[in-house]
């Protein structure tokens, strides 16, 4: 795992887990006691989508 050293803190960069068939957003947790995170770059992300027929909506999970 790469380690990034900042003047006031050290952050460990971990690869994201692979999620499949996830219906909503992907988490990006912040593991600091407090503060803000900015200027983050996400790379090497593959997203597959699927289209459900309009008649499916409102009839529970497929």
Instruction: Round to whole Å and give the CA distance between 8 and 24.
Output: 34
pLDDT digits (tens, 9 = 90+) for 1-59: 555 555 555 555 556 666 566 556 666 666 666 667 777 777 777 777 777 777 766 66
Distance CA 62, CA 60 (A): 7
Per-residue pLDDT, 3: 53
Q: Give residue 54's pLDDT.
A: 73
Tokens of 48: 């597959």
Predicted local confidence at residue 46, as pLDDT: 72
Question: Residue 9's pLDDT is what?
Answer: 53
pTM above 0.85, yes or no: no
């Amino acid at each position: 795992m790469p380690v990034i050293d900042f003047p006031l803190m050290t952050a460990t960069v971990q690869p994201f887990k692979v999620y499949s068939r996830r219906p909503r957003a992907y988490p990006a947790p912040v593991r600091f006691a407090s503060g803000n995170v900015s200027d983050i770059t996400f790379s090497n992300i593959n997203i597959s989508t699927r289209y459900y027929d309009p008649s499916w909506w409102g009839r529970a999970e497929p």
